[in-house]
Structure 1
Amino acid sequence: MKLHINLNNTFVEVTCLLYVLLFVYASVSKILDFESFQVQLGQSPLLSIYAGWMSWLVISLEILISILLLFPKTRGIGLWASFNLMVMFTVYIFIILHYSSFVPCSCGGILEKMTWQMHLAFNIVFVLLALIAIIFKKETGTIFKCHKSAGIAVSAFLSIATVVVLYINSESEMHYNNPFTRRYIKTSIHYVASKDLKFNSYYFAGYSGSKIYFGNSVAPLSMLSIDTAFQKFEKIRIDFKDEGIPFKYVRIYIRGKYFYLGDGTVPRMFRGSTSSWKIDLEFKGIPSFTSAAIIDSTSFVFRNNTGENGSNIIGIYNADDSIKVKYSPYLLKKQIDGIFDTDGSLQYDEKSKKIIYAYFYRNEFLTADKNANLINTDHTIDTTTKANIKVAKLKGGDQRKMAAPPMMVNAGFSAYDNCLFMRSKIRGFYENEDLWENGGEVIDVYNLKKRSYVLSIPIFGSHNGRFKEFMVTGTHLYLIFGNTLMIYKFQNTLKKEIDNL
């Protein structure tokens, strides 16, 4: 009997020592590389929202439990706390492996070399060690002295329930009430190919069928196309005699079987077939516009500055309507001057039949139907609710200019069937500084139907030139760096998100 008791005591002491070594090593590793630890928690599918205080709590608990395990009088409490904490860690890993949409990076130190499956097995072993030690230990004051089995069951249940509640709440907060914590998933896109466009004046004109089209800001009548197999480039020349029209800013748009040539400064808008690349129609009664997006073969949405006091305003042009031009004066919301503060990007998504407008200098975008009736006003996950700009009035107030460089928030977007890809210029919480210091940017993805944030895609700086613009289709992400086209394919989580829209 005495030998049995001694063996039990030895097992308890060895288990306590192992836990002390584990927790001290883990906490010291986290402290020495605390920023990376916070970043890892920020990318966790369970703890993203709580990364700030949770990082300190985990370290504090590991140190506190280690101290409790060192002294005989507090060893019992330390074992129970070790059991509870390790059950939480184990459930956390189990949820990541079986219920999370992605698997984040592992812990630091030696444990980082383990796979998540190995880490799960490692944690289960330590849970069993703590469980056996609790059973072997002779209790002197714990409330579970006579009811250890009940205590173990209750402790395990509470630990599991805590992690599950954290997971459910964190996912909800992450997608619908995000306080600017991004989620990066390594398997969201996969590099496919890159193509040299030869010149840095190309921009995305659109896509139709199996081809991507590029306009040229320097040579407006010269275009390029590439097939979706990324093998065949084709040079295109638009057949158009401008008859001396004083064009200043010509833009080409592709929509279905038609192409459109427009310049809002003239203003003029023409249409032709992509089968012949010849202009065969001019739309009459076109108002001036600073940006435009094609809705269908006879209508487009535009923005100009003919609103009150020269403010920006959204309008619809419809060649088939008796009243060709209709404005929506209350769609854009003024904050400062109605001009610079409402500046932004305009697109029409053919799949969802929605007009989308995203402000440049605040975390806000809106969706409207094809008649410019507001559907929703939503926000990006950053916290810039008001445009951070300074406007100076010149020549007695007749002219206005930026008095200081503005803080760009949303630098453009691309939409596909209720999936919005927003180019962000603002660094989020718990993000690595290297991405931003080296000229990187981020594309945040939103589900317009659910009105939720999905994930983020880091765009690293390229030796091929600065990041100019991008476009998405149902399967691929296209980016232009200088004169280089970069092509990526959607993978796993992102593909599922698009497919389920």
Structure 2
Amino acid sequence: MKNIAYIIALLIAYFFVLLFCYAGISKVLDFENFQVQIAQSPLLSAFAGFVSYSVILAEIIIVSFLLIPKLRLVGLYASLGMMTAFTIYIYLILNYSDFVPCSCGGILEKMGWTEHLIFNIACIFLSLISVIIIEKHRQTKKIKYFISSAIIIILSCLMVIILFFQSEHIIKKENNFTRKFLPNFIIENEKTDLEHGDYYFAGKDNKGIYLGSRSTPLILTKIDYRFKRTESFRIIPDHSDYSFKSLQIKVKHPYYYLYDGTVPVIYRGTLNDSSAKTISKGDAFFSQLAVIDSSNFILRTQDSRTHEYTIARLRTGQKTNISLFPTILEKQIDGIFDCDGKLIENQQHPGEFLYTYFYRNQLIMINDSLPRVKRQSTIDPISKAQMNITQLSNGTHMMNAPPVRVNIQSAFYGNYVYNISGLPGKFEPARLRKGRKAIDIYRIDRNEYIASFYLPKQKVEDIIVTPEGLYIISGKQLLRYHFRKPLKGEAENLTTE
């Protein structure tokens, strides 16, 4: 009987030799894919480089131990620890992960996660059986190998749990530009053709979205959220004898606002009336505008003394005044190109705004507490604008080469910022991106990076997030996507359908 038992233990050891050889060789032959999949793991993203190498190395070492008779018992204990670690990892994925990622090579590719959990548990029992048989054969005290097995199981569990919590902290707070992708996070619902490719999002109300047009700047178009009805009207300003360069429209229910910052004039009209009246004239030149309420605005303008971009607040009415806040936009090179970015409004919380730098990894949250603002870094490591600028003799600045674009577009809804990034992160090969753009999600109330998802391969002229989902203007098309499921802990009323 002892010989039969020892043969069983030997067969189990050879089973683990085959298992780890197959798994290790599979990972080595497709190492890039294995590393990418580890990077997309919701538990191990921050340690993708270390884990991808260490797992393969550990499997090779275990196989070596199992093939050497004097070290076989050590190899079986190591197999117990390895399979326990794999098992607790899968358990955490299935029960505590925001999503279930793709497989990580080897046997896992041939099974579902639940099936692999069962397989791993069976392997733990096999390794325990072989350990017990060999220890009995060596006449080791029962209490000794029971304690040894328990310690290995506990340490393996603790190792994975610690990696999980550390990875969560690093990814959310100290990210090293490793994205955590949400698979199939958005699903296309509707799309509709537009007359031309010059549209942009002007705003929304509770029934639909509004589009402005750069080629026909006095036309305001409203489209209901499901693209069933479209209506347009032409805005008629009370005074139009100005040399406008680029008229734009902002909508904040129940008003729309017509402006061109190169001419210091702002018009206001109600959404059911084409007549727009002047509410600000000669108060400020500006390049961007966001609406606080019917008579108060956040502007991006230039300081007349330094000629650098600055954030300002304009109050119109009987006591019109403008306040500059030069400390909000931080100069790095020239205060113009390096401070360039986009000012947008929170589509759920009125009075909250976001300024996204184009050429550095920072978002600025702005509200009524000016000049106090909240800054949040994106996961991209470029904290200083990478550009080469020359100042000409007439005082103007010229960019000598195209700069590195860090952020392309942003949408702001509730506590979440949806930022289209301009650069690939770690472990994102070209074949994975395939020309698609990544949207990184940030939670501003917690100063956290949440996760990312890919957009389909398409142009992106403008984006907006509403209660009905994500809307994108792509060339001559308007597309609507809904979110497959809400983010964990999300209290916003986004449609998930």
Bin for the TM-score computed over the shorter chain? over 0.9
Bigger shift: residues 264-273 or 182-191 = 182-191
Bigger shift: residues 173-182 or 349-358 = 349-358
The answer as to 2:484 corresponding to 1:491 is: yes
Identify if the C-alpha distance between structure 1 residues 120 and 344 changes in structure 2 by more than 3 Å, giving closer, same or farther: same
Partner of 2:259: 262
User: So what's the TM-score if we normalise by structure 1?
Assistant: 0.94
**2:381 aligns with one of 366, 383, 406:** 383
Partner of 1:459: 455
Question: SS of the residue aligned with 2:306?
Answer: helix
Deviations 1:31-76 (A, max 9, x none): 1111111111101111100001110000000011011101111100
Q: Distance in 2 between matches of 1:327 and 1:432?
A: 44
Cα offset, 1:114, TM superposition: 1.1
Q: Distance in 2 between matches of 1:397 and 1:8?
A: 91
Deviations 1:309-337 (A, max 9, x none): 31111101111473521110111101111
Identify if the C-alpha distance between structure 1 residues 145 and 60 changes in structure 2 by more than 3 Å, giving closer, same or farther: farther
Check the 8 A contact 2:238/2:278 in 1, yes or no: no
Bigger shift: residues 318-327 or 79-88 = 318-327
**1:161 aligns with one of 151, 158, 162:** 158
Check the 8 A contact 1:253/1:261 in 2, yes or no: yes
Q: Percent identity?
A: 37
Q: Distance in 2 between matches of 1:170 and 1:356?
A: 28
Partner of 2:190: 193
Cα offset, 1:233, TM superposition: 2.0
Check the 8 A contact 1:285/1:324 in 2, yes or no: no
Q: Which runs of 5+ in 2 are unaligned?
A: none
**2:72 aligns with one of 57, 72, 75:** 75
Partner of 2:145: 148
Deviations 1:60-107 (A, max 9, x none): 000110111011111000000000010000000000001111111012
Question: SS of the residue aligned with 2:160?
Answer: helix
Identify if the C-alpha distance between structure 1 residues 14 and 495 changes in structure 2 by more than 3 Å, giving closer, same or farther: closer
Q: Quote the RMSD (CA, aligned, Å).
A: 2.0
Identify if the C-alpha distance between structure 1 residues 144 and 439 changes in structure 2 by more than 3 Å, giving closer, same or farther: farther
Partner of 1:445: 441
Partner of 2:370: 372
Deviations 1:405-453 (A, max 9, x none): 11110112110112111111011001131354x4321111100100100
Bigger shift: residues 274-283 or 13-22 = 274-283
Consecutive aligned runs of 4 or more in structure 1 exceeding 4 Å deviation: 139-146
Question: SS of the residue aligned with 2:461?
Answer: strand
Check the 8 A contact 1:298/1:318 in 2, yes or no: yes
Matched residue type, 1:223: L
Check the 8 A contact 2:27/2:34 in 1, yes or no: yes
**1:117 aligns with one of 114, 137, 142:** 114
Bigger shift: residues 110-119 or 198-207 = 110-119
Cα offset, 1:308, TM superposition: 4.2
The answer as to 2:201 corresponding to 1:208 is: no
Check the 8 A contact 2:473/2:479 in 1, yes or no: yes
Identify if the C-alpha distance between structure 1 residues 85 and 143 changes in structure 2 by more than 3 Å, giving closer, same or farther: farther
**1:433 aligns with one of 415, 430, 438:** 430
Partner of 1:478: 471
Count how many residue pairs are aligned between Structure 1 and Structure 2. Answer: 493
The answer as to 2:415 corresponding to 1:418 is: yes
Matched residue type, 2:131: I
Identify if the C-alpha distance between structure 1 residues 398 and 444 changes in structure 2 by more than 3 Å, giving closer, same or farther: same
Partner of 2:176: 179
Identify if the C-alpha distance between structure 1 residues 129 and 435 changes in structure 2 by more than 3 Å, giving closer, same or farther: closer
Matched residue type, 2:451: L
Matched residue type, 1:380: T
Check the 8 A contact 2:238/2:275 in 1, yes or no: no
Q: Distance in 1 between matches of 2:133 and 2:490?
A: 50
Partner of 1:55: 52
Cα offset, 1:371, TM superposition: 5.2
Matched residue type, 1:302: L
Matched residue type, 1:459: L
Question: SS of the residue aligned with 1:230?
Answer: coil
Q: Which runs of 5+ in 1 are unaligned?
A: none
Identify if the C-alpha distance between structure 1 residues 429 and 143 changes in structure 2 by more than 3 Å, giving closer, same or farther: farther
Partner of 1:44: 41
Cα offset, 1:174, TM superposition: 1.0
Partner of 2:235: 238
User: So what's the TM-score if we normalise by structure 2?
Assistant: 0.95
Identify if the C-alpha distance between structure 1 residues 500 and 207 changes in structure 2 by more than 3 Å, giving closer, same or farther: closer
Question: SS of the residue aligned with 1:186?
Answer: coil
